Each structure stands twice: as C-alpha cells, then as structure tokens.
Amino acid sequence: MTDSSTMLSTVQAIAAALKDKPGALLPILHGVQDALGYIPSDSVPVIAKALNLSRAEVHGVISFYHYFRETPPGKQTIHLCRAESCQSMGSKQLEGHVKAKLGIDYHETTADGAFSLEPVYCLGNCACSPALQIGADIYGRVSPELFDELIANTEAAA
C-alpha cells in the first residue's frame, strides 16, 4: 500500500468511528491530527463525505482553529506562550532567544525537521511564567538557559 492510501484508510476509519456523534467534525479532526500529526488536504473530501458536508465547510473549520494544521509538524512541536502573564515575566526575551536558537519564526519547522514553533495564548501556568510546552510536556519559569537544556535533552532522547 502507498503512504497516501494508508493515510486515507486511517482517515476513513476515524471518520467512520466518530461520524454518528452529534457535532462530529471537531472530534474527527482531532482524531486525524492525533493519528497523523496534521490534517492532510487529501483527507478533506473523505471527512466531508462521511459527514455529508461540502469540502468548503470542512476546510473552513480546519482553517478557523489555530490548533489544526495542514502541514506535517516537526518531530516535536514547541508551543510558546505569548500572553500577558508570560510577558510580565520576560517572555518577549525568551521568544527572541527561542527563535534565534532554532533559527525559525512562528509557524515554521527547523530544516532538520526536529522542531516546529507555534505561539500559544495561555497554557494556564500563569503563576509560573514564562511557560512553554514541548510535545505534551509543559514547563514553567523558563529561562533562556533552561530552554537550551530542554532542547538538548529532547535532541538527546530523539
């Protein structure tokens, strides 16, 4: 089987399992992104058919929500908090350091495919600002030095 047909059969299985839930589109999109890391454009017609929606409607929903992505992410996605509480504790400086260290801006992936960088507007860790998330792990009171350490550990573990 080709990669593309594997992908489509994954999407079909997720859509078939969830399509009868009331308001099934978001659960299906989450399922696809959890399984594949992103929502490939080829999956849109499959999801649309399962829910009897137009492709435009499905695309509209995907593009509305910041969390859903239409391109493959790096091995790890870093979510850096940009909200007020983190700003009060120097997240602007941290942001500058992170971008320089990785050599990418928000919504980009490093050339080696190791990291993607996304902004996030609050991780609910506001008493331990500044905060960020690497993969599923959340970190508080992140200094530039701690960030370098976290990145080194992540790369060593990869």
Going by their DSSP bridges, the two strands 76-81 and 115-120 should be labelled as parallel
156 binds another protein (CB under 8 A): no
Minimum CB–partner distance for residue 52 and another protein (Å): 12
26 binds another protein (CB under 8 A): yes
Stretch 51-70 residues interacting with another protein (CB under 8 A): 51, 57, 60-61, 64-68
36 binds another protein (CB under 8 A): no
Q: Binder to another protein among 24, 36, 114, 150 (CB under 8 A)?
A: 24
Distances (CA, A) of 151 to 53, 71, 98, 123, 135: 42, 22, 10, 19, 11
Whether the link from the prior residue into 130 is cis, omega within 30° of 0, is yes
Question: Can you give the binding site for another protein, defined by CB under 8 A?
Answer: 22-27, 29-30, 51, 57, 60-61, 64-68, 79, 83-89, 120-129, 131, 133, 136-141
